[in-house]
Amino acid sequence: MVTTATPIFPQVLDSVITQFTNADTTTAKAIFTPGTNGSVVNSVLVYSNDTAAVNLQLGIYDGSSNFLIGTVTIAAGSGNTGTVPTIDLLRSVQWGSQLYTGFNYDANGNKTLFLPSGYKLYANCLATMTSAKVCNVFVQGGDY
């Protein structure tokens, strides 16, 4: 990517939904792949209809290895009932004691992640989910 002193903005909006089921066990899945010039991730929303809490790990793959950012507990039924909201993963208060607290912030004070080309954002469950239940991870950002 050519560098410039001029501010750059995402050129292509990117939204990806990845579903986890009990068949995935604890396998890491790519949930966001940056574009050729890199990308910014603005939100990671998680919904679950599982009757048990799901411990979801979030990490970055650098082209050769996975690096854990941290683990967030997704409460049973998050986003599936009127009483338990969908989890906004980047803004979760659970990051306070996690390995990675170096999120970037946009002009509105929202946490974001910048990912270069060749990297990937991944997620996996720490334990196998309940049979016939799902956990959906919705990532929204933009490619430079």
Please give the average per-residue pLDDT across 21-45, as a whole number. 94
User: Could you give the CA distance from residue 53 to residue 57 in angstroms, rounded to a whole number?
Assistant: 13
Domain ranges across the chain: 12-143
Among candidate residues 95, 143, 94, 121, the one with its CA nearest the CA of residue 30: 121
- pLDDT of 13 > 90? The answer is no
Q: What is the pLDDT of residue 99?
A: 55
Q: In the CATH scheme, what is the homologous superfamily, with its name and number, of domain 12-143? A: Nucleoplasmin core domain (2.60.120.340)
Please give the average per-residue pLDDT across 82-110, as a whole number. 75
Contacts 24+ apart (CB under 8 A), 92-96: 94/70, 95/70
- pLDDT of 106 > 60? The answer is yes
Distance of CA 117 to the CA centre of its chain: 17
Give the DSSP letter of residue 120: E
- pLDDT of 95 > 80? The answer is no
